[in-house]
Amino acid sequence: MKQLITLVYLLSSLLLSQWLAAATLPTPTPPPVSARSYIVMDYNSSKILAEKKADKRVEPASITKLMTAYVLFTEIKASRIQLSDQVLISKRARRMTGSRSFIEAGSRVSVDDLLRGMIIQSGNDATVALAEHAAGSEETFVSLMNQHAAQLGMTGSNFVNSTGLPDKQHYSTARDIAVLARALIREFPEFYPLYSEKKFTYNNITQHNRNLLLWRDSSVDGLKTGHTQSAGYCLVSSALRDNMRLITVVLGDKSENKRAVSSLALLNYGFRFFETRKLYAAGQSLKQIRVWKGDKEQLSVGLNRDLYLTLPRGSFKSLKVSVKLPSQQMAPVSKGQSLGTLNVSRDTLVLAEQPLIALSNVNEGGLWTRITDSVMLWFE
The residues annotated with a catalytic role in the active site are 62, 65, 122
Measured at the alpha carbon of residue 287, what is the angle toward residues 284 and 290, in degrees to the nearest 5?
130
Contact assessment for residue 60 and residue 231, using Cβ atoms and an 8 Å cutoff? yes
**In sequence order, what are the residues at sequence separation of 6 or more whose Cβ sits closer than 8 angstroms to the Cβ of residue 38?**
50, 51, 52, 53, 54, 174, 248, 249, 250, 251, 262, 266
Burial 236-251 (b: 16+ CB within 10 A, else e): bbbbbeeebbbbbbbb
Q: What is the dihedral of CA 258, 261, 267, 269, to 10 degrees?
A: -110
Q: In whole angstroms, what is the distance from residue 85 CA to residue 252 CA?
A: 36
Task: Report how far residue 224's alpha carbon sits from residue 14's, in angstroms, rounded to the nearest whole number.
Answer: 50
Instruction: Measure the CA–CA gap between 346 and 356, rounded to whole angstroms.
Output: 20
Nearest CA to 36 out of 260, 268, 247, 250 is that of: 250
- Alpha helices, DSSP H, located in the chain: 2-23, 64-77, 91-94, 111-119, 124-135, 138-151, 174-187, 213-216, 256-273, 367-378
Distances 41 to 16, 48, 180, 189, 321 between C-alpha atoms, Å? 33, 5, 12, 18, 24
